[in-house]
Amino acid sequence: MSLLHEISPPSSAPATAWRGPQPARIDAAIDHALAEQRLVGAVVLVAHGGRIVHRRAAGLSDREAGQPMREDALFRLASVSKPIVSTAVMVLAGQGRLTLDDPVTRWLPDFRPRLPDSLGGGEATITLRQLLTHTSGLGYRFFEASEDGPYARAGVSDGMDNSGLTLAENLRRIAQVPLQFAPGTGWLYSLATDVLGGVVEAVCGAPLAEAVRTLVTGPLQMHDTDFFASRDDGRLATPYVNGQGTAPRRMEGLTVAPAFEDTVGIRFDPARAFDATAFPSGGAGMVGSAGDFMQLLESLRGGGAPLLPAGLVDDMGRNHTGAWGPDDAPGYGFGLGFSVLHDPRAAQSPESEGTWRWGGAYGHSWFVDRTRALSVVAFTNTLYEGMSGRFVADLRDAVYA
């Protein structure tokens, strides 16, 4: 299971002599998705060689109000928060305040999930590196097959509903559930980045939102990125859910939207973005703009300044999991906070080997191809089309056409 589960192969092989992104082709991919009502609105930014070569706000931020999408629109970020919080961990590593091979219990002494019963049920040792690579044995509530799954029974929040929990309480509940496999022996997308958020708090002695501002978003001047938004700002895009054969419907109140076959679906509460008291979910609970996120990607693509030394960025972008990775995205492994393409042929992708990629359940995708000095951010307000639907593949192919 992965956030890449519906990305289709390109319609043809990549050109041998790539001339760089062609804005007309990119716009055509955006226009096609809007015309077919697969998307309501989007902001797409393409950087090549260290400068923005294409930028577009398209469609509607709020369809019912007739409000056009604007380039500085804010979006609920879901898993787009993962590379932000993972970068915060790497900054702390660069400062010598933690090591990636630290056990989680060094920083969170009470976080002691046990091995599965099939492995004896003993206490497991999880390292920060295993959390970053999703090889810890943790899972997600939304992957469970029924509302009676272990995470559901423990009352765990995936970070997109407004549970009323504190971060400490949610971590306590996560730790009550046995792991799905011994750490380091498999791969499963998981609540690991929420646990990393707790680690960042412990290392910094400060709330996660404050620590992330100090370590990442402040130095990069990502002033629109935080764990909540103001209702008075008016820039937060309205979220929509794709329907089968119908126009996307506006998301109102608590919404459960199936994302993967034979699973219960993700529990969304759009109002969570306005609740400054909601716990800071490192894996799924931020708000931000496409421009801000491009700042992060371009910093990392360019070697990490002013956040990280180049060696740590290289470590983030290396495939740490070998053949392990999203089981429905062949050719992708995982680095320290995002997927890494290790076999373009298996993935049937025009992207270069080593390309970084991930997305977010509220309708976002992004990738960084360091070989071609390319960063692409596509934030939409339509799930799941903007995360893993046809638009993601169409945009990718248009960029490389």
The CATH number assigned to the domain holding 96 equals 3.40.710.10
Rg over CA atoms, the chain: 20
Q: Which of 2, 79, 281, 365 is catalytic?
A: 79
Same domain, 350 and 392: yes
Q: Which residue has the tokens 């049937």?
A: 348
Q: Among the residues of 229-268, which ranges form H helices? A: none
Same domain, 366 and 286: yes
Domain count, the chain: 2
**Quick check: is 42 in a domain?**
yes
Active site residue 8: no
Same domain, 233 and 374: yes
Residue 183 confidence class, pLDDT cut points 50, 70, 90: very high
Domain interval for residue 276 = 23-71+223-302+342-400
**Quick check: is 319 in a domain?**
no
Task: Please state the rounded mean pLDDT for residues 167-181.
Answer: 98
pLDDT in the model for residue 16: 54
Q: What DSSP designation does 269 have?
A: -
**Quick check: is 330 in a domain?**
no
**Quick check: is 64 in a domain?**
yes
Same domain, 227 and 127: no
Q: Which of 160, 184, 217 is the last residue of a domain?
A: 217
pLDDT in the model for residue 4: 36
**Quick check: is 334 in a domain?**
no
**Quick check: is 162 in a domain?**
yes
Q: By percentage, how much of the chain surpasses pLDDT 70?
A: 96
Under a CB-based contact definition with an 8 Å cutoff, are residues 241 and 257 in contact? yes
Same domain, 174 and 104: yes
Under a CB-based contact definition with an 8 Å cutoff, are residues 358 and 339 in contact? yes
Q: Which of 187, 217, 247 is the last residue of a domain?
A: 217
**Quick check: is 134 in a domain?**
yes
Same domain, 148 and 63: no
DSSP3 helix / strand / coil % (the chain, rounded to 5) = 30, 20, 50
> Taking the C-alpha atoms of 178, 179, 181 and 182 in order, what is their torsion angle to the nearest 10 degrees?
-100
Q: Which of 190, 217, 244 is the last residue of a domain?
A: 217
Same domain, 128 and 191: yes
Q: Which long-range contacts (CB under 8 A, 24 or more apart) does 231-236 make?
A: 231/274, 233/74, 235/61, 235/70, 235/72, 235/73, 235/74, 235/289, 236/73, 236/74, 236/75, 236/76, 236/273, 236/287
pLDDT tens-digit series, residues 265-315: 999 999 999 999 999 999 999 999 999 999 999 999 999 999 999 999 999
Give the pTM. Answer: 0.95
